[in-house]
Structure 1
Amino acid sequence: MAEKIQFTRNYSDLSTDKGYQFEFYCDRCGTGFRTRFKASVLGAVSTALDTVGGILGGIFGRAADVGEKARSVAWEKAHDEAFVEAMEELRPDFVQCPRCSSWVCRKSCWNQKKGLCKECAPDLGVEMAAAQASRTVEEVWAHSKVAEEDREMLQEKSWREGVRATCPKCEAPLSGKVKFCPECGARIQEKAHCTQCGAALDPKAKFCPECGASRKT
């Protein structure tokens, strides 16, 4: 009976007085496998005694009570035997992972090539496909976000000017958006753009050379 401890957390007992039936579950995906129903001979005898005792009473009633006590012991023994048979029936559908000790279904959650469950040794082909799909979704959202930012920039009255990291004359590092270099005093040129078409503008230009829009608008 030591085999019974192999399935102590992932099964349901569906047995009744009429017979025995069990359902075992995969620890990883939760898929259930139900055994065939096995009728109980003791259950049929007990039902007959209960019926006779209810009709005739007296000695037959006492016989039914004795039969119930005997049945409870015999039923438990038959139940244990049925449980072992159920494990043997479904054993080909389950395998225990040597790494995490989980009982998993052989069909969906067992990596035959690695000899481990797919929680410990995922299917690389499936993982690669999932990673590619996830990456594609990220790129779609990234492109969508950039497009929204571009539309917002085109609607702004003035373009956001870039920030230089070093002075164009002495190449000294700049701490932020400054107009003059703190080392040599050179003016940091800030590019201007047309608010209508986005074309680069000469610092002294009053109108856009591309679309003719006024720089002040």
Structure 2
Amino acid sequence: MAMIEFVRNYSDHSTDRGYQFEFRCDHCSSGYMSSYKPSALGAAGSILEAASSIFGGFLGGARDSAYDIQRAIGGKAHDSALQEAVAEVKQKFSRCQRCGKWVCNEICWNTRAQQCTGCTPKYEQEIISQRTQAQLRASQQQLEDKAATTDYVSGIDVRPDVQIEFNHGNAEIEGHDVRQLPASANPATAAAAAVCAACKAPLTGGKFCGECGAPVARACPSCGTSASATAKFCNDCGTKL
């Protein structure tokens, strides 16, 4: 029998009843199944097996002999069936002269270039893929440019005596997500600020300094901005004092 030249990726689904093969593309692994070809000896074995069950066991020897005959010549019958299956399915494939792969005509064969798409991608599909990748890169760059021109810190007081509190765990630093706390909310800064602004004497509470009588400055409970002792509203955020 002549040598069979075809894909290396194939599966043999043959049984003692008949022959069938599946051939797969070397590039995408898509498969095509050949038509099922019954085995004449397999059919004869089935008839003898049925007759043996009806008439007892005297035909069992004949059945076993048929099975042995099938095994003995199965190699030639199998090769013949494989050759027919190749002839049937081969029209679904083309062989690339550049890399030697057998690829499916439907997806992995570039008809214009007469090569597989692994060696020469289809122009239209390659353009679509490159366009999509370019759009993704441009979108990322535009997002970075837009983020770079957005003000995220204009509402944050950077004075050392003001503590920043986020409303929730990994919040974005935006005006509605950040609020300023007065110095009194931070024990360390509160201790440093508990002195009279006029005479630097320690403050013990009240609206006036117990040492020099100067009015004690207050901090807005909302934004932390310092306010005079007589102010009724915060000059920065308008909160009532």
Shorter-normalised TM-score: what interval?
0.5 to 0.7
Unaligned runs of 5+ in 2: 158-241
Residue 94 (structure 2) aligns with: 95
Residue 3 (structure 2) aligns with: 3
SS of 2:128's partner is: helix
Query: Mapping of 1:1-217 within 5 angstroms?
Result: 1-7=1-7, 9-57=8-56, 59-152=58-151, 155=154
Structure of larger gyration radius: 2
Deviations 1:157-202 (A, max 9, x none): 69xxxxxxxxxxxxxxxxxxxxxxxxxxxxxxxxxxxxxxxxxxxx
TM-score by length of 1: 0.64
Distance in structure 2 (CA, Å) of the matches to 1:15 and 1:61:
24
Q: Report the alpha carbon displacement of residue 141 of structure 1 after superposing the two structures with TM.
A: 1.5
Taking a change above 3 Å as real, the CA distance of residues 57 and 140 of structure 1, as seen in their structure-2 partners, is same
Taking a change above 3 Å as real, the CA distance of residues 156 and 148 of structure 1, as seen in their structure-2 partners, is farther
Bigger mean CA deviation after superposition, 18-27 or 50-59: 50-59
Q: Report the alpha carbon displacement of residue 50 of structure 1 after superposing the two structures with TM.
A: 2.2
Root-mean-square deviation over aligned CA pairs: 2.5
Distance in structure 1 (CA, Å) of the matches to 2:63 and 2:33:
33
Distance in structure 2 (CA, Å) of the matches to 1:65 and 1:19:
18
Unaligned runs of 5+ in 1: 159-217
Deviations 1:111-164 (A, max 9, x none): 122221110011122212211111011111111122223335554869xxxxxx
TM-score by length of 2: 0.58
In the alignment, is the contact (CA less than 8 A) between 1:42 and 1:75 conserved in 2? no
Taking a change above 3 Å as real, the CA distance of residues 156 and 117 of structure 1, as seen in their structure-2 partners, is farther
Instruction: Name whichever structure is richer in helix by fraction.
Output: 1
Distance in structure 1 (CA, Å) of the matches to 2:41 and 2:151:
80
In the alignment, is the contact (CA less than 8 A) between 1:53 and 1:63 conserved in 2? no
